[in-house]
Amino acid sequence: MSAGETARIIDNNISSTCGSGGDFASGAYVRNERKLEFHFRHSLGLVTYRFREFAASHEWVIRALGAYGHHKYPGFSDVPLNGFRHLRSDIESFFQIFLSGSDEDLSGVLALAQQEEFDRPKGIQGIL
């Protein structure tokens, strides 16, 4: 992101509700066509990156980048803010493309992550 650009979490992209598991919130960081969606219940949960027609979870982006096993998120901390700190660390360390890379590079990573997530074994085969 250049010095003149801004990123924001848009108020109308944040919602909260109370479900059977307790209070729950979701939100999104948006810059142009790039979107990072996040969900929070007791700690940071599902994180999804979106760009144009592509969408992939943080886990599968990290896998597509070859950084699985070196990542910090989710981290499983008792401190709720640590999930956000771990996510920030992963983005800064492995996924700068999301923040400042070219559209083509971002599309390539998300397309690969999306395909790998789609192709993963499902059901009982996924845990064997």
The string of pLDDT tens digits covering residues 104-118 is 999 999 999 999 999
pTM here is 0.81
pLDDT at residue 41, rounded to an integer: 85
Provide the pLDDT confidence category of residue 99 given band limits of 50, 70 and 90: very high
Domain count, the chain: 1
42: domain range?
Answer: 8-118
109 domain residue, yes or no: yes
127 domain residue, yes or no: no
Asked if residue 36 has pLDDT above 50, the reply is yes
71 domain residue, yes or no: yes
Asked if residue 2 has pLDDT above 60, the reply is no
128 domain residue, yes or no: no
Query: What single string gives the DSSP state of each residue in 84-125?
Result: HHHHHHHHHHH-HHHHHS-HHHHHHHHHHHHHHHHHS--GGG
Per mean pLDDT, which range of 63-67, 71-75, 122-126 is the poorest? 122-126
CB half-sphere exposure, 40, CA atoms < 13 A: 17
Q: Residue 57: phi, psi to the nearest 5?
A: -75, 160
